[in-house]
Amino acid sequence: MKLLSSLDHTNYARWLYLHNRDEASLQQCHPDLYAEFCAGNFVVYKSKHCFSAIPIDQTHEQNNVLVKGSGGAVGLTENSVAFRHWMVAGPEISRILEQFQKIFNKGPTFRSTRGSDSLVTTLEDLGNPFMEMSGDLLIIHTNDVMPQEVVSTVRNIQKLSQEQYDTFVAERLLSCNGPVTNTMLKNKLPRFSTPHPKSVSKDKLKSSRRCVTADATILSNRNIDFLRHSDNKLELFNFLTAEVRKGTYPSKEICVTHGQNVMSVPERNDISNVAPCSQEEADTRISLHDKDSADRGYRKVLATTVDSDVALCIGNINKIDLDEL
C-alpha cells in the first residue's frame, strides 16, 4: 500500500492511507463492528475450500454474471419492475445454476496453461535468469538491460515510500495541517515501463550475462544473441580451450588461443612465434599460424574457413615460404 504514492497513484494512496487509519482505530471507535470483522462476517464462502472467501461485492458480481442474458444488464436500472425482478430472482437463479453445474460437471477441471506455457517458452529462448552472473537489472521476458536510473528506483523505492507515508500521516491525519484532499506531488520515477534512451551498449541490449558450464543448457539458434555479450564470449572460449586441452589427439598437434596466449596439445616447448599475440581477430591469427607452420618445416598448409575476409587475407600473403597454401 505504501508503494502507491511513490508510484504516483495519488488517489489510491490518499484514500487507502485514510482507510488504513480508520481500520486501525476500529476497535476503539466501533467495538461491535470490530467484533463482526474478527468473526469473518465481511466475506462470503462459496465453497468449503480453504482460503476461498471473497468479498460480498465480488460475490454479487459473480452471481450477476451467471444470470445475465446475451444483452447483459444494460438498462436494467432504468426499469424499476425489471430491476425488482432481478433482485428477487437473481440469487435463486444463481443457486440453481450452480447446483446444476455440480451435478453434471463431476469430471476434473482443466485450467488454462497458456501463462505457464508462455513462461517456459520464454525461459527456453532467453535462458534461465537464475544463472545470470552480471549485476545488471534485466526484464525476464525480454532480457532487456535496465539503465542505472531504473536500478536506483528499485533500490530506493521502499525507503521513499515509507518516508512519504509517514509524512502524509503526520501532516494530514495527526497534526491536521491540511485537508486530505490537498494535492500530492508526483515523483515520476524511472520504471520498467518508462521509455528509455538507447544508452546501453548494443550487446547488452540484445543479450545478457550467463554462466558457461559443462552442464548448462545448450542455447537454440534463436538465442545466438548470447554471443553478442563480450563476457559471454570470453568465458565460452576459455571453457572450450580448457575442454580441448583435456583430450588426446594421436598424430595431431592442436593449438588453441587463450587470450593473448596459445595452448597446444601436446604441449610445445617454444611458442614464441605465435604467443603472446595482441591480434584479437581470427583473420590475422590464422596467417600467424601459417607462418609458424612454414618456419617449423611444413610445406603444405590447409586453412578451412567460411569467412571471406580470412580467405582474402591469406591469399594476399606472399612472404610465407610454402609449396601450397
**Rounded (10°) CA dihedral 70, 75, 79, 85:** 40
Question: How many other C-beta atoms lie within 10 A of the C-beta of residue 1?
Answer: 12
CB 93 within 8 A of CB 66: yes
Query: What is the three-class DSSP state of 120?
Result: helix
- pLDDT level of residue 156 (50, 70, 90 thresholds): very high
**pLDDT of 24 above 80:** yes
**Chain segment 64-98, per-residue pLDDT in tens:** 776 665 555 566 667 788 778 777 877 787 778 77
User: For the whole model, what pTM was predicted?
Assistant: 0.50
**pLDDT of 261 above 90:** no
Give which of 67, 68, 70, 73 is closest to 96, Cα–Cα. Answer: 67
What pLDDT does residue 246 have?
Answer: 83
Cell of 69: 442474458
Cell of 282: 581470427
Residue 171, CB-side half-sphere exposure with 13 Å CA sphere: 14
**Chain segment 218-241, per-residue pLDDT in tens:** 555 545 566 666 777 777 888 888
**Rounded (10°) CA dihedral 261, 266, 269, 270:** -50
**pLDDT of 139 above 60:** yes
| Burial class (CB within 10 angstroms; exposed 0-12, middle 13-18, buried 19+) of 258 | middle
Q: How far apart are the first and last CA of the chain?
A: 73
Residue with cell 462470503: 44
**pLDDT of 104 above 90:** no
Question: How many other C-beta atoms lie within 10 A of the C-beta of residue 184?
Answer: 19
Query: What is the three-class DSSP state of 54?
Result: strand
CB 172 within 8 A of CB 179: yes
| Max Cα–Cα distance, the chain, nearest Å | 106
Q: How far apart are CA 226 and CA 216, in angstroms?
A: 13
**pLDDT of 287 above 80:** no
**pLDDT of 312 above 90:** no
Among 144-148, 150-154, 317-321, name the one with the lowest average pLDDT: 317-321
What pLDDT does residue 71 have?
Answer: 54
Partners of residue 256 on adjacent β-strands: 263
Residue with cell 521502499: 158
Residue 50, CB-side half-sphere exposure with 13 Å CA sphere: 0
